[in-house]
Structure 1
Amino acid sequence: MTPSLRHLRVFLAVLDRRSITAAARACHVSQPAASQAMARLEAEAGMALIHHGRDGSGPTEAGALFGRRVRRALGRLDLSLAGVAPRLVLTATRAQLQALIAVRDAQNFTRAAQRLGLAQPTVHRAVSQLESEAARPLFLRSGKRMEPTRAAQLLADAARLCFSELEQASAELADLAGREAGQIVIGAMPLSRSSVLPRVVADYRAKRPRIPLRIMDGPYDDLLSGLRRGEIDLLIGALRQPVPVPDVVQERLFTDDLVLVARPGHPLVTGRPDVAALARFPWIVPRADTPARAQFDHALDRLGGAAVTRPAMIECGSAVLMRELLTLSDHIGCISRLQASAEIALGALARLDVALPDTARAIGVTTRADWLPTAAQAQFMDSLRRLAAVPRPGA
């Protein structure tokens, strides 16, 4: 469903006033126009959203479900629209806001038009109409780039969250009708990609074989930004302490720690090497901007690493690259116990008998504080919570 914002406002007015005629008056449109808006919405939904009869126009089960999502979507959007210019609450259209998001992301009208599959003048006109209604510029030209103002940034974020909520509304209606719709977008940090996520996805696929899953990786800050903008539904991986921003919540699923690994047959695999022995070999360690690296540095100091020359280090965020380097050389790797568990169980890597103090860390899921999952998303969360507690072989 891609309903117009005006039709959605009429729908909410019908729910509030239990009458299409009263809703038309409240929205300053004619009664035929309000009836046409409701007919269009119900046609897109493929089901009745209100009861059509002399006793009023109360919501059906589908209408109540849809109405809850629409209120959340428009409530978030209208607050931002009013912050730019109160008039935009009445005049801004879906097409204009989609153009705003595209230009904000691309910082160029031509690239924004390409992303939307529209002509460049069409996108330029849509943004110009928003600026005209707002009586202020939303972008400032800087060379060939269009720099969004703070107002444009906030409005684009609110619009994206609104559209994400409306997509979830459509998915819930489809689920109610026995159809699969929508998707789940997962931000996956390294540990989850190699340990937790494969089992959860396999389990979920057996229950919901037709729901598209999109798994995104990247730096934590990028994934967190995507989550907050509504592009990502949930993040799985190491939790941050304290919580990085107030509009997200973290749920701990289990605890992991760091271990040292090497190839089978490495000179340090047998016995209990001290830090001086470890320092004679090159290392592969987490990147400097990660919690795991901070824990590793702290643990090495606790073991007496400050008293010896630090070993040569390769910073690496890829478990696959680390594994290949370890099998080809005498490097020592520092990695999550769970990430290494499958390789250790298969005999591809061996764990060194060295305890790294104070490296326990909480692993879990991060979501928006106001996130309301669909039935399909809630089922994925159930699989995640259940399987995250099951230990893997070799862990």
Structure 2
Amino acid sequence: MPEMRGDLLDGRIKLRHLTCFLEVARLKSVSGAASMLGLSQPAASKTIQELEAILGVELFDRSRRNLVPTSFGEVFLRYAGASITALKQGMQSVTQVEGGVSFTVGALPTVSARILPAAVTHFSAQRYGMKPRIITGPNGYIISQLRLGEVDLVIGRMAEPDVMKGFSFEHLYSERIALVVRPGHPLLQPSVFDIGAIGGYQVLMPPPGSIIRPTVDRFLVANAIGPLADEIETVSDSFARSYTRSSDAVWIISEGVVVDDIDHGLLMRLPADMSDTLGPVGLTTRTDTPPSLPVQLFAQSVRAVVAERIGPR
């Protein structure tokens, strides 16, 4: 372990060691981390080796195809992530100028259309003088930004249990997955809907790694659908929305993404029983650092909007 002098940490541990370690742990790959950080793979490998030498322990199990933290690595991951977050919060607190960003919210597409606009409106109406920054993206990216301290709060579906280590989830409501098509689609015509018939049409699917893909795969297997003859994987809601409205494709997506389209008659929900696809939607925060006051106030606005629009849990 690092040599200590009083209460001082070993000065050889630099910020680059921590950020590289966190990215390798997140991506389970040195090459992936190197790409994200703008480093060469040898440079990233050397950085991890330096950190292991300083600590005197192996942080990753290299016997597997994907790098996974050792027991030492799991412990260090928790503290490294907390230290990076605390440092960023401290810098923001002393460098923030009037009119600057007070906090950052990461939102998955499932809430970006259904909940987030109303929550921002509610928050802004309180005139706190705090400005949120809103970013959206796939679950893996948003959660990684939360772990690195780049995001203060995530709103969306709960991640898989292994991803939720070090995070706290507050359930707000449950949301199902929807099968949507354009108005006048042939599948809307039969008096008795056959779920298996969607296999005969082009299907827009969430890609592997997206938060709802495992649920979608289980649903298709349970209904004996597949393999799909014509499948397009996409994370682009704007593309999928436009493509579905102009073709006979079936779009499989979280209901919250398309609820306004359905309410306005721009897209139609197929009459399939989707009760088995219900998943929890809520607020994800770090467990090792308390949410700042702006984050707590924004969370209150989110809760108020959910209570008004969706009702009690």
Alpha carbons of 1:192 and 1:85: their partners in 2 closer, same or farther (altered >3 Å)? farther
Conservation of the 8 A alpha-carbon contact between 2:179 and 2:270: yes
Q: Alignment identity in percent?
A: 25
Aligned position for 2:111: 192
* TM-superposed deviation, 1:158: 5.1
Give the counterpart of 1:161 among 47, 72, 85.
85
Deviations 1:223-258 (A, max 9, x none): 222212222111111103436343211111100001
Cα distance in 2 for residues equivalent to 1:273 and 1:141? 53
2:251 is aligned, of 325, 333, 345, to 333
Equivalent in the alignment of 2:188? 269
Alignment of 1:134-145 (within 5 A): 142=42
- Aligned counterparts, 1:191-230, within 5 A: 191-208=110-127, 210-230=129-149
Greater per-residue helix proportion: 1
Query: Quick check: 1:305 aligned with 2:205?
Result: no
Structure 2 counterparts to residues 1-395 of structure 1, below 5 A: 84-87=2-5, 89-90=7-8, 142=42, 147-148=47-48, 149-150=50-51, 157=81, 159-167=83-91, 170=94, 183-208=102-127, 210-242=129-161, 244-270=163-189, 271-305=191-225, 310-391=228-309
- What CA distance in whole angstroms lies between the structure 1 residues aligned with 2:241 and 2:303? 28
Aligned residues: 272
Work out whether residues 238 and 362 of structure 1, in 8 Å CA contact, stay in contact via their aligned partners in 2.
Answer: yes
What is the distance in 2 between the residues matched to 1:279 and 1:180? 52
CA distance in 2, matches of 1:145, 1:336: 39
1:326 positional shift: 0.5
CA–CA separation in structure 2 for the residues paired with 1:372 and 1:351? 40
Name structure 2 gaps, 5 residues minimum: 24-32, 60-75
Q: 1:341 to 1:276 in 2, by over 3 A?
A: same
- One-letter code of the match for 2:213? R
Q: Which runs of 5+ in 1 are unaligned?
A: 1-82, 113-139
Equivalent position amino acid for 2:121 in 1: A
TM-score scaled to structure 2, two decimals? 0.73
Q: State the TM-score, normalizing by the size of structure 1.
A: 0.59
Deviation (angstroms), 1:388: 2.2
- Aligned in 2, Cα 1:242/1:198: closer, same or farther, shift over 3 Å? same
Per-residue deviation, residues 119-146 of structure 1 (Å, max 9, x unmatched): xxxxxxxxxxxxxxxxxxxxx9936986
Over the aligned positions, Cα root-mean-square deviation in angstroms equals 3.6
2:250 aligned partner, one-letter code: I
- Kept after mapping to 2: 8 A contact 1:243/1:249: no
**Rg larger in 1 or in 2?**
1
| Greater relative CO (CA pairs within 8 A, separation 6+) | 2
